[in-house]
Amino acid sequence: MRVEELDETALLARVLPLMPTRALLGPGDDAALVAAPDGRVVATTDVLVELRDFRRDWSTGADVGWKAVAQNVADVAAMGATCTGLLLALGMPGDLEVAWVEDFARGVAQACAEFGAVVVGGDLSAASEIVVAVTALGDLAGAPPVLRSGARAGHVVAVAGTLGRSGAGLDLLQRGVLDGPADLLGAHRRPVPPVAAGPRARRAGASALMDVSDGLLRDAGRIAAASGVTLDLSTTSALGGWIADLLPAVGGRATELVLTGGEDHALLGCFPPDAGLPAPFAAVGVVRPAGPHPVLVDGRAWAGAGTGWDHFAQ
Amino acid sequence: MRVEELDETALLARVLPLMPTRALLGPGDDAALVAAPDGRVVATTDVLVELRDFRRDWSTGADVGWKAVAQNVADVAAMGATCTGLLLALGMPGDLEVAWVEDFARGVAQACAEFGAVVVGGDLSAASEIVVAVTALGDLAGAPPVLRSGARAGHVVAVAGTLGRSGAGLDLLQRGVLDGPADLLGAHRRPVPPVAAGPRARRAGASALMDVSDGLLRDAGRIAAASGVTLDLSTTSALGGWIADLLPAVGGRATELVLTGGEDHALLGCFPPDAGLPAPFAAVGVVRPAGPHPVLVDGRAWAGAGTGWDHFAQ
């Protein structure tokens, strides 16, 4: 059965029951009502577009649903907050199979279970290609958000999660390897941001925090710019371990992928030297005073291929 | 200049300054932070897709930006709430003129000024067609939300705003009349939902409230279904005045357009008989016990053309 054979009400009746929808007031009225216990709400929105951000022959509907949730809860975690609700806007062609939409909803539900999220509202619309726009809401438990602008010289640079695996998985898919190493393909199809590490970093006194979605060098550059510092990354840190892990699958591209591959949704944080790194953060470098380059790798500007993902320039 | 000639950062730098972005924390970090004074937040999301919801030869970029804001603040008002923040996700083809995006941002700003809203976050993405997904947040000032489910037999049915004008404007555009009556074309291009009437209806004790986006009959049917009642509409009420207003432009289609035309974003409310209608609500009918038809027109089931807008079935 295709989407155009159902009206919006009938399609909603099929997919809504597949997803967790607890809220003060969930889907079904003009708007939802979500608890914001401390009198503020964290809010972020992120879009996935077919053929730009996913391919239906590389990812199932459930993979796309998972990823749409994962990348948004990662942005909430990157403020030091926990997710309190998701709004899903889904545009899709009329000839899309309803089974794909149901599979998408199941992937959303699986990610909600993994990340402790619920769907509070949404919208369905016809479109030429599949477009998924997710808004995530979050709560900071009364604490200040962790911004990108608080890093200071002498602070430790650390990462929770892993880097390069999603990019390596994408690399395999682009080379036609659809059943390669499950951990790499899985990292691309279903990234698992370490969402609990966000509030933990906040409580540990993190001075800066962000979601690594566009590649470590590009996103580290954003913290450097916002904080007015240099981030000096070391490949003899945890980065070296992730590089070594990738060598069997991607050989000489391992270093580039760890430094510039996007969509792993690790958390990149900076911590005062006396803060102590909360699990699962691992040190990857140190913050230095601002210099000619916002980001250094082993003390030098990165001269390798790639600088990270940009939606329009690539 | 086309969008693909800029990277995302450069495009953001052009459009963000055009829009009001006050918030506890606005665009620029992983997420925004918005005040939710009473410890809850109203949240709704709605999508506009090129060629489905607008045409670039019928509406300017500013018109589309205005409408994207208007339809979302209308959903917030329909809960009895006021808008506290908007998140805008914009997907667009690389060959789109940057000037169109800037014009879109100006229309967003104009609507924000009209409706008292601000942009707190968003996302830009490449896509095959223009897709605008807006999430609106709102505050209820400590009061319960006005749902669709509280209408009871004997309550008055009332509308704030007008009906049929947007549909009549669309009708003109579809017949090639691009410079017809400004009020009708304007109603389609730049609907003006009576957002202040939402909180006013709540304070006046409205038993049900919703945004009329898909046509009066269809949306009245939703209140009827949620409340377990019948809404009996009268064409000798304010509806008759709106029908008469449309006669010169659309002749015999006037009644159908007032009853089934979408996108005016009027507010449809039900009020206990002793509540008194707050301005600018005008009575259009009465609530009756549930019967074989959820909505009646002058005591009978509607037998005319059209039942309202559905994204997939039309």
B34 and A40: CB-CB below 8 Å? yes
- Residue A309 is predicted with a pLDDT of 62
The model's pLDDT over B210-240, given as tens digits with 9 standing for 90+, comes to 999 999 999 999 999 999 999 999 999 999 9
Q: Is the same domain home to A162 and A119?
A: no
CATH code assigned at A25: 3.30.1330.10
Interface of B with A in 94-113 (CB under 8 A): 94
Establish if B120 belongs to a structural domain.
Answer: yes
Q: Is the same domain home to A81 and A132?
A: yes
Q: Is the same domain home to A117 and A194?
A: no
Q: Is the same domain home to A38 and A116?
A: yes
Task: Name every chain B residue with its beta carbon within 8 A of the beta carbon of A311.
Answer: 8, 124-126
- Both structure tokens of A78: 């990157």
H or E element: which one contains A231? strand A229-233
CATH code assigned at B189: 3.90.650.10
Pick from B87, B106, B139: which residue ends a domain?
B139
SS3 A159: strand
Task: Name every chain A residue with its beta carbon within 8 A of the beta carbon of B312.
Answer: 3-4, 6-8, 11, 94, 124, 126
Q: Chain B within 8 Å of A120 (Cβ-Cβ)?
A: yes
Upper half-sphere CA count for residue B75 (Cβ side, 13 Å): 30
Q: Which among A89, A137, A148 has CB closest to B47?
A: A89
- Residue A303 is predicted with a pLDDT of 82
Distances (CA, A) of A295 to A285, A287, B113: 10, 9, 40
Q: How many contacts does A have with B, using Cβ atoms within 8 A?
A: 236
Q: What is the DSSP letter of B19?
A: S
Establish if B41 belongs to a structural domain.
Answer: yes
Amino acid of residue B168: A
Q: Chain A within 8 Å of B266 (Cβ-Cβ)?
A: no
When divided into structural domains, chain A yields a total of 2
- Could you tell me what percent of chain B has a pLDDT over 70? 97
Cα angle for residues B105, B108, B111 (degrees, 5° grid): 155
A3 and B312: CB-CB below 8 Å? yes
Which range of residues forms the domain containing residue B121?
Answer: 3-139
B36 and A32: CB-CB below 8 Å? no
Establish if A204 belongs to a structural domain.
Answer: yes
Q: For residues B121 and B136, what is the distance between their CA atoms, to the nearest angstrom?
A: 11
- The per-residue pLDDT string of chain A (314 residues; one tens digit each, 9 = 90 and over) reads 999 999 988 999 999 999 999 899 999 999 999 999 999 999 999 999 999 999 999 999 999 999 999 999 999 999 999 999 999 999 999 999 999 999 999 999 999 999 999 999 999 999 999 999 999 999 999 999 999 999 999 999 999 999 999 999 999 999 999 888 999 999 999 999 999 999 999 999 999 999 999 999 999 999 999 999 999 999 999 999 999 999 999 999 999 999 999 999 999 999 999 999 999 999 999 999 999 999 999 999 998 766 666 656 54
Q: Chain A within 8 Å of B75 (Cβ-Cβ)?
A: yes
- Both structure tokens of A241: 């371990």
Q: Is the same domain home to A163 and A270?
A: yes
Q: Is the same domain home to B121 and B9?
A: yes
Q: Is the same domain home to A29 and A131?
A: yes
Q: Which among B91, B124, B145 has CB closest to A33?
A: B145
ipTM over 0.90: yes
Establish if B306 belongs to a structural domain.
Answer: no
Distances (CA, A) of B178 to A298, B66, B173, B236, B259: 62, 19, 6, 32, 24
Q: For residues B111 and A144, what is the distance between their CA atoms, to the nearest angstrom?
A: 31
Residue B185 in contact with residue B119, Cβ under 8 Å?
no
Q: What's the per-residue H, E or C state across B57-105?
A: CCCCHHHHHHHHHHHHHHHHHCCCCEEEEEEEEEEECCCCEHHHHHHHH
- Residue A314 is predicted with a pLDDT of 42
Task: Name every chain A residue with its beta carbon within 8 A of the beta carbon of B45.
Answer: 87-89, 121-123, 133, 135
Q: For residues B207 and B265, what is the distance between their CA atoms, to the nearest angstrom?
A: 19
Tell me the average pLDDT of chain B.
Answer: 95
Q: Is the same domain home to A131 and A161?
A: no
Q: Is the same domain home to A49 and A10?
A: yes
Q: Chain B within 8 Å of A40 (Cβ-Cβ)?
A: yes
Establish if A183 belongs to a structural domain.
Answer: yes
B41 and A137: CB-CB below 8 Å? yes
Q: Chain B within 8 Å of A223 (Cβ-Cβ)?
A: no
Task: Report whether pLDDT(B311) > 80.
Answer: no
Establish if A305 belongs to a structural domain.
Answer: no
Helix axes B182-189, B165-174, angle to 10 degrees: 100
A87 and B123: CB-CB below 8 Å? no
Q: Is the same domain home to B135 and B160?
A: no
Q: Which residue of B has its CA nearest to A90?
A: B47
Write the DSSP assignment of B192-257 as a string of letters.
---TTHHHHHHHTT-SEEEEE-S-HHHHHHHHHHHHTEEEEE-TTSHHHHHHHHHHHHHGGGHHHH
Q: Which residue of A has its CA nearest to B46?
A: A123
- Residue B303 is predicted with a pLDDT of 82
Q: Is the same domain home to A286 and A163?
A: yes
**Residue where the block lists tokens 């620029």:** B28
Establish if A148 belongs to a structural domain.
Answer: no
- Both structure tokens of B297: 């027109």
Across B233-258, b (16+ Cβ under 10 Å) vs e yields bbbebbbeebbebbeebbeebbbbbb
Establish if B145 belongs to a structural domain.
Answer: no
Q: Is the same domain home to B10 and B114?
A: yes
- Residue A310 is predicted with a pLDDT of 61
